[in-house]
Structure 1
Amino acid sequence: MLSSIWEQLLSWLKSLFFEQEMELAVLGLQNAGKTTLVNLFATGTFTEDRIPTVGFNLRKVRKGGVTLKVWDLGGQQRFRSMWERYCRGVNVIVFVLDAVDKERFSTAKLELLEILQRPSLANIPLLFLANKSDLPGALTDPQEIIQTFDLKSIKDREVAVYSVSAKNRTNIDTVLRWLIMHNKKPVKLNSNEQSNGI
């Protein structure tokens, strides 16, 4: 108990003098809401971004004493070959799914499992976000998402799954806390919060 308090005090003192930074790669098929989510993380407000990301965007977001360096990667087929380059060395790979566009689930699954097989990306945690949960017909049940995308087959890394809505901010604070927890120096979640890990 005393050592835990001491560790928290030490972490707090370090946070006063040292900037903590983590790097994320946000990927997924086009129109999944990646840029909208990144903008929501940065500004705290929802704005619908209808302009597709060409190549990539880089954003820096400060949350909970941590600066998130976020690579927002284009989802069009011609840009998917670049994903690996921007995922190397990041703290977390964030895969965003349009949870309503069921016709493209098989493509999303194929692209996700293919990128995760790259040896250079082994052991990097995966945060799978099924976005647009506010829309009718969206895939929102975490167990169904895990099954549909065969996420239990991923053995070489930690995997967490959340159903989110950028528009309604559903699970956005929980996702941000999960990200901060996966910084090099994790921040403890409150005991009443649960991760939808696999």
Structure 2
Amino acid sequence: MFSLFFGLYEYLFRKDVHHILILGVDRAGKTNVLERFKTLYTPLVGLDPGKILPTVGLNVGRLDAAGQSLVLWDLGGQTGLRSIWDKYYDESHAVIFVVDAHNLGRLDESKAALDRVLGSRQLQGAPVLIMANKQDLEAAASAQQIYDHLGVGLVHNRPIRVLPGRLQGLPGVLRASA
């Protein structure tokens, strides 16, 4: 009898956990995005962008948003660390791919990294949000320019959206989480 009530309780009150990867080349602002989400959706205040160090390995954030329990995995973007990204694909439900829209010299590198992610069989069909980050810096490429350069309009097997993000403040993350 207990197992029947426990099963009913779990069915009514359990939240599904969704794992979201935050990927991109190093210094794109992935950890900053994670910290902004923490500020928005938890009682914690995320780290100030000036205090964030490059990620070696993994940063994890847990939060509840829109009635869902989310686990955000922010993986290091250095060339040598990108080889571990695929170890997280099987358990991931979505990807936030962060692009430094201010550093135009690294757009081709970002495109190559994104193409590798999009080509993964494990992530086939998973929604992808591309954040054209650092829009608050002068001479940053627009979200549309990032969209065009990455060629994501040519990918039809999944929902993909490109949104602007900001290095400082919350507006870009607010739009992305809506």
| TM-score, scaled to structure 2 | 0.84
Q: Which residue of 1 aligns with 2:158?
A: 157
Task: Provide the residue aligned with 2:30 in structure 1.
Answer: 34
The alignment partner of 2:110 has SS state of helix
Shift of 1:50: 3.3
For 2:85, the equivalent position in structure 1 comes to: 83
Partner SS for 2:129:
strand
Q: CA deviation at 1:166?
A: 4.0
Residue deviations 1:116-142, cap 9 Å, x none? 1122221111110011100001112x3
1:146-192 alpha-carbon deviations (Å, 9 max, x no partner)? 21111112121110110111413223222112xxxxxxxxxxxxxxx
The answer as to whether partners of 1:166 and 1:172 remain within 8 angstroms in 2 is no
Cα distance in structure 1, aligned partners of 2:39 and 2:12 = 23
Partner residue of 1:59 out of 61, 65, 84: 61
- Local SS of the residue matching 1:80: helix
**Could you tell me how far apart the structure 2 residues matched to 1:147 and 1:84 are?**
26
Give the stretch that moved more between structures: 166-175 or 78-87. Answer: 166-175
User: What amino acid is aligned across from residue 25 of structure 1 in structure 2?
Assistant: L
- Secondary structure at 2:138's aligned position in 1? coil
Give 1:15 shift: 10
Q: How much has 1:85 moved relative to structure 2?
A: 1.4
Q: Distance in 1 between matches of 2:167 and 2:177?
A: 12
Secondary structure of the 2:140 match is coil
Pairing of 1:13-162 with structure 2 (within 5 A): 17-44=13-40, 47-48=48-49, 49-140=51-142, 142-162=143-163
**Contact 2:31 2:52 (8 Å CA) reproduced:** no
List structure 1 runs of 4+ shifted beyond 4 angstroms: none
Change (3 A) 1:138 1:88: same
Alpha-carbon distance in 2 for matches of 1:75, 1:15: 38
Hey, what's the Cα distance between the residues in 2 that align with 1:95 and 1:63?
19
| Identity rate, percent | 29
RMSD: 1.9
Tell me: CA distance 1:85–1:168, structure 2 relative to 1, closer, same or farther (3 Å).
same
Answer yes or no: is 1:170 the counterpart of 2:166.
no
Q: CA deviation at 1:115?
A: 2.0
Q: Aligned residue pairs: how many?
A: 163
What residue identity is the alignment partner of 1:151? V
Q: Secondary structure at the match of 1:120?
A: coil
Which whole-Å CA distance do the structure 1 matches of 2:86 and 2:140 have between them? 28
Gaps of 5+ in 2: 1-9
**Cα shift readout 1:15-74 (whole Å, capped 9, x = no counterpart):** 972324211000001111111110110123561143111111222122232221011000
1:63-115 CA distance string (max 9 Å, x none): 23222101100000001011111122312111001110111110010111122
